[in-house]
Chain A
Amino acid sequence: MTAPERLVAVPVRHYGRYVGAVVVLVALGLLVRAFAQADLQWSLTKHFFTFHTIVAGAGRTLLISVLSQALGIVLGVVVAVMRQSGNPVTSGVGWLYVWLFRGTPVLLQLFLWYNLGLVFQTLSFPGLGSAQTADVMTPFLAALLGLGINEGAYMAEIVRAGIAAVDEGQTEAAQALGMSRGLTLRRIVLPQAMRVIIPPTGNEFINMLKTSSLAFAITYPELTLAARDIYTNNLKVFELLFAAAAWYLLMTTVFSIGQFYLERRFARGSSRSLPVTPIQRLRTLVGTGRQR
């Protein structure tokens, strides 16, 4: 018999993993080689990445995405609160909104807003006068309304789930302190719902960065349309699409990182210690970090 302290524990060997990794690496290598040898001028992709119309397109993609998402969040909160209302008309309208805008394609909604002038020639704003719809409904505004109002329907569901996740005792405690319903919602319920709302909202925004490319169909010159306009002239289709793809990847990556820090901030108070940031992890690794 061997003495117990001399026994050696042998972990399970994962031979399958080695085989799998080799297969994947070989496939990846072949793919890279194919593109490296393809009839593609990579230098052109690099050139167009910083070309002014492409950069301007990326800027518009960012602008329309941020504004549409902001509109979506505001509408989402309003509709989520409406749906909670005890008034059946108010909650019914909230339900109708979600049903309509979540149930039809966003591309179709973009076309509807863009062509609004066909059915309403003039728009009148009480107290501000009126205007020709065709003048007001620019591609930018149509894109903003189409994307933002559609997003509002999805955000409403996200916000509703967030509010439902907050313990009822919180509302009771706030009311017992004499806080009104509005104050309770603003100061107590919504901040706590944030923890549930933020992760899917981050995903929504990253989706929005890409969905905004649909606005090309109503001639809003965002990134995809900018790339297409150039390649229809010079026929460097892949070079331009790759330049645009690089911009999309850059934007989605930056916002994914931002999302991590935002989630971390709203986790405050919900657990005893916050998740470690990659930079903190790096510091600990190289030994310059403060002891936690």
Chain B
Amino acid sequence: MTATPMVLSEGVHKSFGSLEVLKGIDLAVQPGEVCCLLGPSGSGKSTFLRCINHLEKINAGRLSVDGQLVGYRQQGDKLYELREKETAAARADIGMVFQRFNLFPHMTALGNVMEAPQKVKGLSKAEARDRGRALLERVGLSDKVDAYPAQLSGGQQQRVAIARALAMQPKLMLFDEPTSALDPELVGEVLDVMRGLAADGMTMVVVTHEMMFAKDVGDTAVFMDGGVVVERGNPREVLTNPQQERTRAFLGKVL
């Protein structure tokens, strides 16, 4: 018997109006696995990531996280959408890091990290503060706890965003091109934090164009194009010896 996959996607379809963006995604991510999602712009990577925590509703197929359907309850052959509260509770266990950081600009770094544990999980202020300080230290920002996002560099903001997601003690972390909005010299500091997370055994789904990161840290690489998974496997295999023509074409452009 194998363990329950952390993410299990079976035939997931998603359309925006008449535009079908996901055309049946089949994918399993095991606990502790670092899964790197690669693919050209517009291939549906962000959309798939957002479906995993129900920021987008799927139109067909099944998506479950840690054995629980995302956003729905199955009864017979029908899926009933969950109430907002239930969806919110499920999301609290899934951390998400955005390309554009999306820190709360009216709160300090520590305030950003303390917000959800305090207001969603009901931690006391002291507990939330202790947890927040520890996490900011972990991402190397213990001297920036009282800084507002506008006073931080992009790399520092993204590290705060990672700490903010970790503060909810998620079982799964989703990263949507976390280094794409950064100046090249700031990419390393963010990737280092993610590398540390992977080493600690966090399950991660990472949309990235950082091929070195995918090779070094990824357990699997998944190549998406046109709303389907074209190829998946060991990152070294997929990146150095792709089996599919579309993967080869894409890698030829980015490498």
Contacts and interface: CB of A to CB of B under 8 A. Distances in A.
Interface of A: 167, 169-170, 172-181, 183, 187-188, 191-192, 268-272
Nearest to A192: B106
Interface stretch (B89-97, B199-207, B238-246): B89-97
Contact of A187 (B93, B100, B115, B150): B115
- Binding site secondary structure of chain B: mixed
A177 B115 contact: yes
A271 B95 CA distance: 28
B102 A169 contact: yes
Contact of A176 (B91, B105, B107): B91
B181 to A, nearest CB: 11
B150 A272 contact: yes
A268 B95 CA distance: 27
A274 to B, nearest CB: 11
Contacts of A269: 105-107, 148-150
Contact of A170 (B55, B91, B102, B164): B102
Contacts of A180: 84-85, 88
B81 to A, nearest CB: 13
B102 A177 contact: no
Contacts of B105: 192, 269-270
B247 interface: no
Contact of A268 (B55, B89, B106, B165): B106
B120 interface: yes
A230 B183 CA distance: 71
B168 A175 contact: no
A191 B148 CA distance: 15
B151 interface: yes
Contacts of A175: 55, 88, 91
Contacts, number: 75
Interface in B77-114: 84-85, 88-96, 98, 100, 102-107
B116 A188 contact: no
7 contacts: A170-B104, A177-B92, A178-B93, A183-B120, A192-B105, A269-B105, A269-B106
Which of A180, A191, A192: most chain B CB closer than 10 A? A180
What bracket does the count of chain B residues touching chain A fall in?
A: 20 to 34
Contacts of B103: 173
Interface of B: 53, 55, 84-85, 88-96, 98, 100, 102-107, 115-116, 119-120, 148-151, 161, 164-165, 168
Contact of B164 (A177, A181, A271): A177
Given A270-B150, A272-B151, A176 B104 contact: no
B217 to A, nearest CB: 22
Nearest to B151: A272
B150 A178 contact: no
Contacts of A181: 84
A192 B107 CA distance: 10
Contact of B98 (A169, A179, A183, A272): A169
Given A175-B88, A176-B94, A178-B120, A169 B115 contact: no
Contacts of A187: 115, 119
A191 B53 CA distance: 26
A173 B89 contact: no
Contacts of A270: 105-106, 150
A178 B92 contact: yes
A173 B115 CA distance: 12
A272 B148 CA distance: 9
A172 B101 CA distance: 11
